[in-house]
Amino acid sequence: MSFPWAQHYTPKAPLMQWIDQRLPLPRLVYNAVGAGYPVPRNLNYFWNFGVLSGLALMIQIVTGIIMAMHYGANELVAFSSIEHTMRDVNGGWLMRYAHANGASFFFIVVYLHIFRGLYFSSYKAPREMVWLLGLVIFLLMMATAFMGYVLPWGQMSYWGAKVITGLFGAIPLVGEPIQTWLLGGFAPGNAALNRFFSLHYLLPFVIAGVIILHIWALHIPGSSNPTGVEVKGPQDTVPFHPYYTAKDGFGAGVFLILFAILLYFAPNFLGHPDNYIEANPLSTPAHIVPEWYFWPFYAILRAFTFDFFFIPAKLLGVLAMFASILLLFFLPWLDTSPVRSGNYRPVFKKFFWILVADVLVLGYCGGAPAAEPFVMISQVAAAYYFAHFLIILPLIAMFEKPLPLPGSITEAVLAKHGEHGAAVVPAE
Amino acid sequence: MATLEETGTSDAGASGEEGVRRRDFINIAAVSFAGVGGVVAVLPLINQMNPSADVLAMATTEVDLSGIQPGQAIKTTFRSQPLFVRQLTPKEIAEADKVDPSTLRDPQSLEERTVDGKKQWLITMGVCTHLGCVPLGAGEGENRGEFGGYFCPCHGSSYDTAARIRKGPAPKNLEVPAYKFTSDTAILVG
């Protein structure tokens, strides 16, 4: 599970020896996130976002458990119980704003984590399983966030639930029975609210479980690094603790400062005013939008305004939206270039940034009203999104001439820090 | 494994000519039995998510039509979703009949969407067939779109005076629920 030169856990205190012989839990922690886990010495700050995602999940679980203490999962009281939390519960406003904005910060760090993986090709062998499990976590996060947004039972909650469960109604033949089954009624109501609450409480713990698998799978080959060159010897690594606990700790400080700024000074900046109106099944808000983190996918959903042969536009949009995420499961086998890091792939690097811009454009269109020119722009951007993964990446892998790779991580690090050539120790 | 195989072979010899070993049979039978039992046990776990009896009990709606004048519409609920009940004016009927149904996205004539002899009563769900928003047009002074029926503000679907889709992303006409006239001025929906 680790490199042969990893430090061994040797507890000195008699109590710790006693525990270690009976339940080697401290040993597990030491080997996973302590001095017993050697990590490439050249990780940059983009490698902070895994730990930051874990921190965001912890914030969500703690604030969420507190929210559940004051929440009533019933369509008659759900909306007022949130207002009660905001106005009457001691510090309730803080818990609720922390939970709502915490979700946004969770997605911010996870998106950065995913794009880090895309740029440095962290999905490539032997880390495919890490990538696949990460996508499972992402899907679970989206389901959790969607159901959580329904719970305040405001207008956006209600109509969001209606539109998203309506997606299943687009499936031929079985669609409507599935939609009715999911909602426990013909429209969102008490049954839907209750089951969403139940699942919203459950799924974060499922996410925590899959995160353990994600880290387990990561620790088999060890972390990737900005050069993409594998670790060749002890000189290429440093122990996780104290080196990366310190670096991650600094990142966590920056993360918490930014979180606090949003939380205390603009807690409704990312929210939607319509959700402060109680759900009304007889009146649709003029402009239904999901939360910002779903906008790119919402834009792909709405990009299909035309029927294609016998497939109706509505079903096409739904298929494309799901495909845009499922496609990523095949990424390790679509990008066949043997070079991992984008730093050594001049052509790939350019297209990576085009993809980033493309997703930002999709995001902007997803939040905009469904009118021209946004429909046309999202059609082009959605087409490009699929082309990037299905056509451009495989072609780059075939024709690109990568830059020469450094001989080892140590060589790359020392080359960067001047003429200390004498210190270079060849890998064994 | 080898020893198991040998035991199995001697078993087969004892059980007869078919070549099905007694141990295999018991194994498959036991696992199948447990598998079927497992599926049966899961069914109620899935079925509990279907609409409950109280939700289904509200699955019919009675509507009194006596107060609705020609050109007026009311918005009520059927299965906790909006229901539009409209009495068409002769002009609106004429406009709907003027269109050749075969040119429409979801070809239906006004006759097919109303009850025989009660062509002026247009009863539809108030649920846009695109993504389920409530179209405008049932209330006084609301935007009825460029075809004079209903207009969905979410993604701009326009329905004509027979509530048929004419423009925009919606794939189908507004759904006509199953209903019957219980008297000249009352209907039972569902």
What is the domain partition of chain A in residue ranges?
35-270+280-416
For residue A63, pLDDT over 90 is answered with yes
Q: Based on the structure, what is the number of domains in chain B?
A: 2
Contact check, Cβ <8 Å, A281/B77: yes
Q: How confident is the model at residue A221 (pLDDT cuts 50, 70, 90)?
A: very high
A287 touches chain B (CB under 8 A): yes
Selecting from A281, A288, A314 the residue whose C-beta is nearest the C-beta of B82 gives A281
Q: Residue range A186-190: average pLDDT?
A: 90
Same domain, B80 and B31: no
pLDDT computed for residue A186 by the predictor: 86
A17 touches chain B (CB under 8 A): no
Q: CA–CA distance from A273 to each of A110, A193, A328 (Å)?
A: 26, 21, 34
Instruction: Tell whether domain A35-270+280-416 is in CATH 1.10.3720.10.
Output: no
Binding residues of A for heme b: 99, 113, 200, 214
Q: Residue range A294-306: average pLDDT?
A: 88
pTM of the model: 0.87
pLDDT computed for residue A96 by the predictor: 96
* Best of B46, B131, B154, B173 to mutate (most A CBs within 10 Å, chain A): B131
Dihedral, CA of residue B165, residue B170, residue B176 and residue B178, to nearest 10: 160
A283/A158 Cα distance (integer angstroms) = 10
Burial group, residue B137, by CB count within 10 angstroms (0-12, 13-18, 19+): buried
Q: How many residues are recorded in chain B?
A: 190
Express each pLDDT in B132-173 by its tens digit.
888 988 888 888 888 888 998 777 788 988 899 988 878 889
Selecting from B81, B153, B155 the residue whose C-beta is nearest the C-beta of A186 gives B81
pLDDT computed for residue B10 by the predictor: 47
The DSSP bridge partners found for residue B86 are: B73, B122
Closest CA to A278 of A140, A77, A133: A77
For residue B5, pLDDT over 50 is answered with no
Same domain, B119 and B179: yes
Phi, then psi, of A311 in degrees rounded to 5: -90, 120
Q: How confident is the model at residue A72 (pLDDT cuts 50, 70, 90)?
A: very high
Separation in Å, CA of A312 to nearest CA in chain B:
7
Q: CA–CA distance from A126 to each of A49, A130, A333, A339 (Å)?
A: 21, 9, 12, 13
For residue A184, pLDDT over 70 is answered with yes
CATH classification at residue B126: 2.102.10.10
Amino acid at A371: A
Q: How confident is the model at residue A313 (pLDDT cuts 50, 70, 90)?
A: confident
Q: What is the secondary structure of B41-53 as a DSSP string? A: HHHHHHHTTSPPH
Express each pLDDT in B100-123 by its tens digit.
888 888 888 888 888 888 888 999
Same domain, B89 and B115: yes
Selecting from B49, B133, B153 the residue whose C-beta is nearest the C-beta of A181 gives B49
Q: Which structural domain range is residue B34 located in?
A: 2-47
pLDDT computed for residue A419 by the predictor: 52
Same domain, B131 and B178: yes
The DSSP bridge partners found for residue B91 are: none
Task: Report chain B residues touching chain A, CB-CB < 8 A.
Answer: 46, 49-52, 55, 59, 75, 77, 79-82, 126, 130-134, 153-156, 169, 171
Q: CB neighbours of B67 closer than 8 A, spacing ≥ 6?
A: none
Q: Chain A 55-84, CB below 8 Å of chain B: which residues? A: none
Q: Is B130 an annotated catalytic residue?
A: no
Q: Which helix (H) or strand (E) holds A323?
A: helix A313-326
Indicate the pairing of strand A237-239 with strand A38-40.
antiparallel
Mean pLDDT of chain A: 92
Same domain, B42 and B83: no
A267/B39 Cα distance (integer angstroms) = 47
Q: Confirm if A389 and A333 have CB atoms less than 8 A apart.
A: no
pLDDT computed for residue B16 by the predictor: 53
Q: What is the secondary structure of A216-284 as a DSSP string? A: HHHHTT----TT-PPP-SGGGEEEIIIIIHHHHHHHHHHHHHHHHHHHHH-TTTTS-GGGGSB--TT--
Lowest-pLDDT range, A42-46, A339-343, B93-97?
A: B93-97
Same domain, B40 and B115: no
Same domain, B102 and B34: no
Contact check, Cβ <8 Å, B79/A284: no
B8/B88 Cα distance (integer angstroms) = 80
pLDDT computed for residue A418 by the predictor: 65
HSE toward the beta carbon, residue A28, CA cutoff 13 A? 9
Q: How confident is the model at residue A375 (pLDDT cuts 50, 70, 90)?
A: confident
Same domain, B75 and B111: yes
Separation in Å, CA of A384 to nearest CA in chain B:
22
* Best of B46, B154, B172, B173 to mutate (most A CBs within 10 Å, chain A): B154
pLDDT computed for residue B18 by the predictor: 64
Max Cα-Cα span within chain B: 90
Q: How confident is the model at residue B17 (pLDDT cuts 50, 70, 90)?
A: low
Across A185-198, b (16+ Cβ under 10 Å) vs e yields bbbbbbbbbebbbe
For residue B2, pLDDT over 60 is answered with no
